[in-house]
Amino acid sequence: MSDPMAEIRASFFIECEELLEALQDGLQTMYDGAGDGETVNVVFRAVHSIKGGAGAFGLDGLVSFAHRFETALDEVRGGNLVADAAVLKLFFTCNDILGDLVRESRDGIDHDRTRTDPVLAELDALLGGPVEAEASPEEAIEFEVTTLAFDLDLGLTDTDPDTDPTWRVRFQPGPMLYANGNEPLFLFRALRDLGELDVTCQDNDLPPLADLDCEHAHLGWDLSLTTSEDRAAIAEAFEFVEGLCALEIQPLDGAPALADLAALSALIDDVEEAETVDTAPTANPDLVEDAEAPDEPQMDAAPKIAAPSAAPAPERVSPPATPAPATPRATVRVDLDRIDRLVNLVGEIVINQAMLSQSVEAAGIPPNSPVRTGLEEFQQLTRDIQESVMMIRAQPVKSLFQRMSRIVREASADIGKDVRLRTEGENTEVDKTVIERLADPLTHMIRNAVDHGLEQNDLREKAGKPREGTVYLTATHRSGRVVIEVADDGAGINRPKVLKKAIEKDLIPADSQLSDSEIDNLLFLPGFSTADEISNLSGRGVGMDVVRSSIQSLGGR
């Protein structure tokens, strides 16, 4: 039997990868100058979510670092800290370390404090002093009832709280509600369509994390809805979960129910038709009983209710419609081993289909026979299944490109250059195995572009170029193949220098007459390098040789 906690932990680390991706995207957007308040919120929530999950599993080192990082982001969010280039550079470093801490926590590797402490010191200096430590994990997983005000921009006109009654809705899902694929958030959005909605989560029945039953509904909700609609309209929002939850819809204390309003309106009509005002009409017994109850608050005077007018009610004016955001693609997480098994099974189907075709040929079955027709349909179906299964393994190159951002930052810091990475075609899909095997050659090419392709900052300024160099990384589909290009805005290949170095290293004869493309291909020879001295980035002559051999092993060029 599988361990539920182990499954939850594994899901947490999978979610961390998605949060880190959102964090990287948000920081890059801010760095490009296209960020806004919501971008900062996305970045903050990503770090906060990682910290919260890490605290639940007692990952103290990860919690501590995320807390300090989150505090700095909160200062930006609150307008107390300007996210200039220097601050964002530090945030990128924090993002890299946070990703390392997540993976080390997943793999059970001890954290290297010599790497995190200097960055934490920079964060403390940025914030003007040490940040107060986060609560212990035991305290961090305590839960509180929190009121959430749903601010969904649905293009609706706000209701008038002075005239519209308020309803209290108590909603407690049963376990089958989630098993049937229902989501409370969608119900809340339906209620938000009716008026102004406040939501309070009730977690009184939430057990300690160790005793948490994933298949049990532990949470309930109290909702306050101010709307002009009646009870039936509110109940209609829960139509598809009827019988799967405990539901109570009542007018909020102090707000009359519609039935009572109807009775009161009839009472006023009786008063207006009376011959004299001295004789009080007979009141509704239910209302009188309510008025005489000692525990109920009394009103000083009955509210004056205007008689209905014959004039038509003014039409509600809606604000201009805004384009609806793109609907997110529905996804499901599947263990890679299952996909590999599915691919292998489809491969077996293809083999058996080929053997069956050979048997039909050997048996001399006529081309127009039903067996032949059925076999052709089976062949087409097999090809369709094979193509569909292979598409399941395809993934966007975005995760690979994001790793290159860190390579650029580290390489440029090592040699003192200002470099920016610009990417295009991040959603181009490639087989997962190909993506994994492209990491090494791309790393070498990116480092080569930073070290050899781009000039030093002062030389760029003298040449009239921006001080900051740019490396371009793009991916496209072209003629059935995936083309990945690495380019830079440097001075280009110094072919005379390349030719001279090749002759010095006895890689070619001194009297060789080579074309430009042949000179360029010298860069891929084993042991070739134009670097004058060996450094952390270059000088050993193995980088571009690795690139060529790796690409050729993938069937590329």
Is residue 318 domain-resident?
A: no
Burial classification of residue 554, based on how many CB atoms lie within 10 Å of its CB (0-12 exposed, 13-18 middle, 19 or more buried): middle
CA dihedral 360, 366, 369, 372 (to 10 degrees): 30
225 touches 136 (CB < 8 A): no
Burial classification of residue 411, based on how many CB atoms lie within 10 Å of its CB (0-12 exposed, 13-18 middle, 19 or more buried): buried
CA distance 510 to 494: 18
Q: Which two tokens stand for residue 54?
A: 């890490």
**CA angle 463–498–403, rounded 5-degree value:** 70
Looking at the structure, tell me whether residues 386 and 419 fall in a common domain.
no
| 476 pLDDT tier (thresholds 50, 70, 90) | very high
Is residue 235 domain-resident?
A: yes
Question: Which among 38, 112, 108 is positioned nearest to 76, based on CA atoms?
Answer: 38
Helix (H, G, I), strand (E, B) or coil at 305: coil
Helix (H, G, I), strand (E, B) or coil at 353: helix
Is residue 44 domain-resident?
A: yes
- Strands 469-478 and 481-488, by their bridges, are antiparallel
The predicted structure's pLDDT at residue 132: 58
Q: What percent of the chain has pLDDT over 90?
A: 10
| 147 pLDDT tier (thresholds 50, 70, 90) | low
Looking at the structure, tell me whether residues 425 and 362 fall in a common domain.
no
User: CA neighbours within 13 Å on the CB side: how many for 130?
Assistant: 5
Q: Which two tokens stand for residue 163?
A: 């005239």
pLDDT in tens, 37-49: 889 999 999 999 8
Q: Which two tokens stand for residue 467?
A: 């001080």
Looking at the structure, tell me whether residues 363 and 414 fall in a common domain.
no
User: Which of 228, 251, 274 is the endpoint of a domain?
Assistant: 251
Looking at the structure, tell me whether residues 136 and 157 fall in a common domain.
no
| 98 pLDDT tier (thresholds 50, 70, 90) | very high
Looking at the structure, tell me whether residues 28 and 12 fall in a common domain.
yes
Looking at the structure, tell me whether residues 496 and 380 fall in a common domain.
no
Looking at the structure, tell me whether residues 56 and 75 fall in a common domain.
yes
Is residue 400 domain-resident?
A: yes
- Strands 469-478 and 419-424, by their bridges, are parallel
Looking at the DSSP assignment, which residues form a beta bridge with residue 168?
A: 224, 250
H or E element at residue 480: none
Looking at the structure, tell me whether residues 423 and 489 fall in a common domain.
yes
The winner for highest mean pLDDT among 99-108, 184-193, 324-333, 536-545 is 99-108
pLDDT in tens, 430-454: 888 888 888 888 888 898 888 888 9
Which residue, chain included where needed, has tokens 């390579």?
A: 407
Long-range contacts of 382-388 (CB under 8 A, 24+ apart): 382/349, 382/350, 382/353, 385/346, 385/349, 386/346, 386/349, 386/350
Looking at the structure, tell me whether residues 416 and 358 fall in a common domain.
no
The predicted structure's pLDDT at residue 495: 86
pLDDT in tens, 283-298: 444 433 443 444 444 4
The predicted structure's pLDDT at residue 91: 92
User: CA neighbours within 13 Å on the CB side: how many for 102?
Assistant: 27
Q: Which two tokens stand for residue 489?
A: 């805005």
User: Which of 251, 278, 313 is the endpoint of a domain?
Assistant: 251
Looking at the DSSP assignment, which residues form a beta bridge with residue 486?
A: 473
Q: Which two tokens stand for residue 299?
A: 């009103």
To the question of pTM greater than 0.85 for the whole model, the response is no
CA distance 134 to 117: 16
The predicted structure's pLDDT at residue 470: 92
pLDDT in tens, 6-36: 778 888 888 888 899 889 989 988 988 887 8
The predicted structure's pLDDT at residue 471: 93
CA distance 172 to 189: 17
Report the CATH number that the domain containing residue 223 is assigned in CATH. 3.30.70.260
Domain residue limits at 55: 4-140
Distances (CA, A) of 11 to 5, 96, 182, 287: 10, 21, 20, 56
The predicted structure's pLDDT at residue 270: 56
Looking at the structure, tell me whether residues 541 and 403 fall in a common domain.
yes
CA distance 361 to 421: 57
Count of the separate structural domains present in the chain: 4
CA distance 302 to 146: 36
Q: Which two tokens stand for residue 540?
A: 């050993």
Question: Which among 35, 62, 34, 61 is positioned nearest to 49, based on CA atoms?
Answer: 62
522 touches 499 (CB < 8 A): yes
Higher pLDDT, 340 or 271: 340
Looking at the structure, tell me whether residues 88 and 175 fall in a common domain.
no
CA dihedral 295, 297, 298, 301 (to 10 degrees): -160
Question: Which among 284, 279, 280 is positioned nearest to 266, based on CA atoms?
Answer: 284
Looking at the structure, tell me whether residues 411 and 527 fall in a common domain.
yes
The predicted structure's pLDDT at residue 146: 53
DSSP code, position 210 = G
**CA angle 352–357–358, rounded 5-degree value:** 100
